[in-house]
Amino acid sequence: MVGSAILRLLKKNKEIKIIVKDRYELDLTNQKKVQNFFKNEKPDQVYMAAAKVGGVYANTMYPAEFIYQNTMMSANIINSSFLNNVKKILFLGSSCIYPKVAQQPLVEEELLNGKLEPTNEFYAISKILGIKICQSFNRQYGESHNIDYRCIMPANLYGPNDNYDLKNCHVIPALIRKFHEAKIKKEKQVIIWGTGKPKREFLHVDDLAKACIYIMNLDKDKYIHLSKPNFFLNVGTGSDLTIKQLTFKIKKTVGFEGEIIFDKKQPDGITRKLLNVRRIQKAGWKHKIKLENGLKKTYNDFKKKVKLSF
């Protein structure tokens, strides 16, 4: 989802040569294959959009895959980039890097100030490692090798080309699929995990793509000044809503007319996760796509590209 959004935007610049490999062409957890790729292709810049992601269920069931695959991808790509003279990297993290109990909205200084949310701690740790790998390379080789490895932490993302597998997807694609299937099958109710009380912030992936390119092209001194002390920037909308509110918005978007049942026996995840976006807004970027419009676009994409037989 993220990679395709960045790609759509980069393709608008005809002067850029874009090198793309999907997971079937290049296993990013394989150090030798990644090293050979960078040795042969010699890119100037790298956008690190690849990741193993999922919702509460996937993070709970597959912690080993989440921490291993994401850690290996980050380490292999950053190290191979350095060895092959890549000067600029943009590493995409996640807002789950922040402690479970932290100041809201979440400021960048909160990193490593407390315990992580247990339902996604292994994914979060892998993303923190990615930030620290970028930071360590900048500290050791920034001046001597003129490298500039940047990091951004997006809010919860949604949009075209999302994953709609109910065992592995995030909340918006899960709700879209559930309500759509219930509508088609004329079911009377839809069951939603948790109480609906937690609050979440959602950023359309097209807005994120614009933020990625904007930050990658930002003046180096300005980026360094704004991203201290942890040298990354939050990317989000600066506003959130409850899962219950989101559920009713998606119900309306899809056109489901039945009842919603919240299964309170299922986990909620972290209570709130709202990003403080003051720094990136000071850098000159702000999101454009409102949630209601973004949900309509996402549902239309779902209807075009996804069949009910998963």
Query: Exposed e or buried b for every residue in 42-63, given b needs 16+ CB within 10 A?
Result: ebeebbbbbbbbbbbbbbbebb
By the 8 A CB rule, do 256 and 183 touch?
A: yes
d(Cα 134, Cα 78) in Å, to the nearest integer?
7
d(Cα 194, Cα 270) in Å, to the nearest integer?
11
d(Cα 216, Cα 149) in Å, to the nearest integer?
9
C-alpha distance from residue 122 to each of 249, 256, 261, 280, 302 (Å) = 31, 35, 30, 27, 29
Long-range pairs, 210-213, Cβ under 8 A, ≥24: 210/9, 210/285, 210/288, 211/152, 211/154, 211/235, 211/280, 211/285, 211/287, 212/6, 212/47, 212/90, 212/92, 212/152, 213/6, 213/9, 213/10
d(Cα 92, Cα 97) in Å, to the nearest integer?
12
Which residues are marked as active site? 123
Q: What is the 8-class DSSP label of residue 116?
A: P
Identify which of 208, 299, 295, 273 has the alpha carbon closest to the alpha carbon of residue 56: 273
d(Cα 250, Cα 263) in Å, to the nearest integer?
18
d(Cα 11, Cα 18) in Å, to the nearest integer?
8
CA 292 to chain centre: 20
